Amino acid sequence: MTRAIVITSGKGGVGKTTVTANLGRMLACLGNKVVLLDTDIGLNNLDVIMGLENRIVYDIMDVIENRCRIKQALIEDEVAEGLFVLPSAHSYDTSKINGQNIKAVVRSLKEKFDYVLIDCPAGIEVGFHRAVSAADEAVVVTTPHISAIRDADKVIQLLKSYRLKDISFILNRVRGDMELRQETVGVDDVREILKARALGVVPEDDDINILSSSGRLPDKGSAGYDATFMAAKNLHYGTDFIYDAAKKYKGFFGSIKRRIKKRL
């Protein structure tokens, strides 16, 4: 059965769009047909992050206003087979778009795909409600910073008022060296605070951007690849494996890496 999953956060800039793009690619690598739906109307970031912005002909507003069929608006990813993007609109006029429109778009995408990942705008205003009301499940992205965790907690309380089958979280931009020095909250603490399932831990990693925007997936074994692949497998198979971002800073060579990182 197709799963429509909203990727949300409350706090802006924590990595929702990056996580949506990377999870989508990994789910497609697992053999699924995946579509990413950008509901951040007017701030179309998903197509930019995925390097697809020059290939947009139609967007979600064209679909909603019947200027094209949904199939015509879908852009196929060049990196992962079976992955498509339905881009958001460039214009800021959101008056013509409502929860029912988004629900109808998601309903027709569900007929063609195994996963519909909905990239949610920041905040908890109307755009949030539009995106969440079309979803069956939610993944809340947070960073290990107190302000982001507090917003994630608020969002989870809000999400509980929707009829969602599952709410989990991804802890993004984790600094393994800081975690080892106990200078930042770890995934167990976040799990306890949010009282939600941890879908994954994604480290702070420049390769994450390569994973999103370049014409290739990064090498297996890079932190960004492994962590995101693990989260995608947890999502798909229902497992609970958690990437250990602190692993490379443990042991003799790890302690050297840790000191170098601290100096940087």
Burial class (CB in 10 A: 0-12, 13-18, 19+), 251: exposed
Residue 15's binding partner among Mg ion, ligand ATP, none (Cβ under 5 to 8 angstroms by kind) is ligand ATP
Residues that bind ligand ATP (CB under 6 A): 9, 12-18, 40, 45, 122, 172-173, 202, 204-205, 208-209
Angle between helical axes of 126-133 and 99-110 (0-180°, round to 10) = 30
Residue 170 CB, nearest approach to Mg ion (Å): 14
Q: CA-to-CA distance for 152 and 157, rounded, in angstroms?
A: 9
Residue 14's binding partner among Mg ion, ligand ATP, none (Cβ under 5 to 8 angstroms by kind) is ligand ATP
Residues 6+ apart with CB under 8 A from 172: 14, 15, 18, 19, 141, 142, 143, 202
- Residue 199 backbone phi and psi in degrees, to 5: -85, -25
Residue 224 CB, nearest approach to ligand ATP (Å): 7
Residue 222's binding partner among Mg ion, ligand ATP, none (Cβ under 5 to 8 angstroms by kind) is none
Residue 69 CB, nearest approach to ligand ATP (Å): 28
Q: CA-to-CA distance for 68 and 175, rounded, in angstroms?
A: 45
| Element (DSSP H or E) covering residue 79 | none
> Given the complex with Mg ion, which of 17 and 172 has the nearer CB atom?
17
Residue 206 CB, nearest approach to ligand ATP (Å): 6
> Given the complex with ligand ATP, which of 70 and 139 has the nearer CB atom?
139
Residues that bind Mg ion (CB under 5 A): 16-17, 45
Q: CA-to-CA distance for 74 and 84, rounded, in angstroms?
A: 6
Residue 73's binding partner among ligand ATP, Mg ion, none (Cβ under 5 to 8 angstroms by kind) is none
Residue 88's binding partner among Mg ion, ligand ATP, none (Cβ under 5 to 8 angstroms by kind) is none
